[in-house]
Amino acid sequence: MKTGVAYYPEHWDEWRWETDLQLMSKAGIGLVRLAEFAWSKLEPEEGRFEFEWLDRILALSHRFGIDVLLGTPTATPPAWLHAKHPDLYTVDEWGHTLGFGTRFQRCLNHPVMREHSRRITEAMARHFAGNPAVIGWQTDNEFTQNTCYCDGCAKAFQEWLKRKFGSLDALNSRWGTAFWSQTYTAWHQIPLPKQAKCGNAHNPSLLLEFRRFQSQATVEFQREQVRILRKHCPNNFITHNFMGLHNSMDYYDLAEDLDFVSWDNYPITQWDQDTSKASLAHDVMRGIKGRNFWVMEEQCGHGGWTVVGPRPKPGQVRAWAWQAVASGANTIVFFRWRSCLHGTEQFWHGVVGHDGIPRRRYREVAQFAGELAAMAEKLDESVVRNEVAILDDYEQHYAFQIQPQAEGLGVWEQVRRFHVSLRAMGVGVDVVPLDINLDRYRVVILPGWPIMTEEAAIRLRAYVANGGTLIVNPRTGLKNADNVCHEDVLPVFLGELLGVSVDDYDALADSCVPVISQNGEVFNASVWTDALLVDGAEILARYQDRCFSGEPAVTKNRHGRGVAYYFGTCGETPFYKSFLTEILAEAKVPMKQDLPEGVGMYWREGKNQRFLFLINEQSAPVDVPIDAGMTPLFGEVDGKTATLPAHGVALLAENG
């Protein structure tokens, strides 16, 4: 386990390098990430590689005992490459060609981009293979789907469709192109789904297939780099810095070729000031490969490009870092080492500021690094194990992006409602794909999955029949794999399992409708309502108002040795906590009902011992009751109480 920083020696005079590395070493920094944006420095003109400056910083890092992670620099192609091949620029959905001056302005389907990506990767891999300072590689930077609408992408997309469907008759039939007279008689007639006068109102089947195609383009672009790195640097690991809850592409596919997932964690920036997302994003990142991960960029100060974001409160950076470790992170790399004097990210503050003088941020990062080093031997090889899972599938994200249907119905919005409620009850959560062994979980939650196949339904039915507990959200089983509506009664393929059918539905927009439970509790339901017809299921709650007043809203159905619940609507935290308390108790999932609001409770398990992390995520001190049989490792713990200051952290070991 290490603490690291992103370092850009190409931004600074070489005389400063040793000073920086001395300060890093003094703070307990054991890793630097280098070169992911340095293509023009590494290859100043085509075919002429200059690696000597990087050799020198590697040697200096090695002398200070600081390991190095190298990045392939393909996120920022140099000006000479674009000048020679201007058709490398991406074309946006309005048909505008992007120009030079930012990053990611390259089409990953372009054969010249592919060729130069392989060339720079090959040159770096050959040169740095066996270098004792280098322990691993990061591919590119923050991949998204290849969002490009150029002529090359159009031709490649048409070929993709031809290979997949085989004939235009098959494509026309499956997509229903008779609608709006869109029947194709030649492959070249199939358009890219650019913005039109009437908006992005293309055939949903076309839109879904385009998402798949461009996601796969990114996967294939990375795969070429990975093959080169595996060939020349077999002893180095390979990772990539994902973006948490980003959902423009299939992260499961992107992670397939990697050793482990990393991600970039910015809880508060000029764009987003919701710190609760980080906990969910950690669980999502851990679930992609079902193993521990790295945080490749951890916020350590203000974030901002043109506008300066909020300053993290005292202790907050340390708390975020420990939250990541508690969630399964093995290494934390802070972004960045020093605030940059030039360029777009001048106001994205680093561990040290523009003046290079270590101040408050440096001291807080150093405190965390010292604590992590002291705990590393105990926490090494420990993992996160949970008994509750939320299922994820990026095609469901695409379906809701193409047709949102209602405000608040997106996958992550649905997932967060469950996740926040479970975390408030002290219950850990895995976010995982459907194709793993679900039997390891006592409870599985299925947010609305509009695209439902019979194969997926078979897995879900088997899980419940074998004794599992399944919770299903509305808008599940609406469409097939071509994004075409099913003819059968909703929820298609799952009606018998759930013991219900959907008789009607309503999008609530900004309004709410009261829901009353069997116990007489009243909650506000929002976003969506399914009116249910019961066929064997028990009614747990009914609507109290609007057009579905008195009709079932939440149901429970026995199936085999397990039980399946249908939540026909969305609610707020009290709604979920009430129903989840009974569901978890019946499934024998441990909860902590006396967990104070705003406190995160996380467990990691070693071979012979479990470790409990308590993290105060609020700006006021709080006392947390702890169970007997726990030994404090750090933090203020007295008897059966842990006292956490604002953004404080305590770590305890379970007595074995």
Determine the Cα–Cα distance for residues 118 and 196; give it in Å rounded to an integer: 36
Return the axis-axis angle of helices 52-63 and 15-27, rounded to nearest 10°: 30
Determine the Cα–Cα distance for residues 205 and 482; give it in Å rounded to an integer: 5
Paired strand residues for 337: none
Give the residue carrying structure tokens 């750090």: 634
Among 117, 135, 136, 143, CA closest to 43? 117
Determine the Cα–Cα distance for residues 520 and 497; give it in Å rounded to an integer: 27
Give the 3-state secondary structure of residue 618: coil
From residue 178, alpha-carbon distances to 157, 181, 599 in Å are 21, 5, 55
Helix (H) or strand (E) holding 586, with range, is helix 573-587
Active site annotation includes 538:
no
SS3 content of the chain, % helix, strand, coil (to 5): 35, 25, 40
CB atoms within 10 A of CB 364: 23
- Pairing label, strands 262-265, 241-242: parallel
The order of strands in the sheet holding 293-299 is: 237-239, 134-138, 67-71, 31-34, 2-6, 329-335, 293-299, 262-265, 241-242
Active site annotation includes 142:
yes
Determine the Cα–Cα distance for residues 226 and 266; give it in Å rounded to an integer: 27
Q: Which amino acid is at 60?
A: L
Catalytic residue, chosen from 43, 209, 297, 617, is: 297
Determine the Cα–Cα distance for residues 506 and 371; give it in Å rounded to an integer: 52
Q: Tokens for 126? A: 């050959």
Catalytic residue, chosen from 122, 142, 496, 636, is: 142
Q: Tokens for 358? A: 């270590």
The set of residues, in sequence order, having a beta carbon less than 8 Å from that of 396 and lying 6+ positions away, is 411, 447, 448, 449, 450, 451
The total number of residues written for the chain in this structure: 656
Determine the Cα–Cα distance for residues 456 and 494; give it in Å rounded to an integer: 10
Q: Tokens for 280? A: 């969910």
The set of residues, in sequence order, having a beta carbon less than 8 Å from that of 227 and lying 6+ positions away, is none
What distance separates the 2 farthest-apart alpha carbons in the chain?
A: 77
- Contact status, residue 565 vs residue 556, Cβ threshold 8 Å: yes
Determine the Cα–Cα distance for residues 140 and 36; give it in Å rounded to an integer: 6
- Is the backbone peptide bond immediately before 336 cis, with ω within 30 degrees of 0? yes
- DSSP string covering 415-475, please? HHHHHHHHHHTT---EEE-TTS-GGG-SEEEE---SB--HHHHHHHHHHHHTT-EEEE-TT
Half-sphere exposure of 73 (CA within 13 A, CB side): 23
Catalytic residues: 142, 297
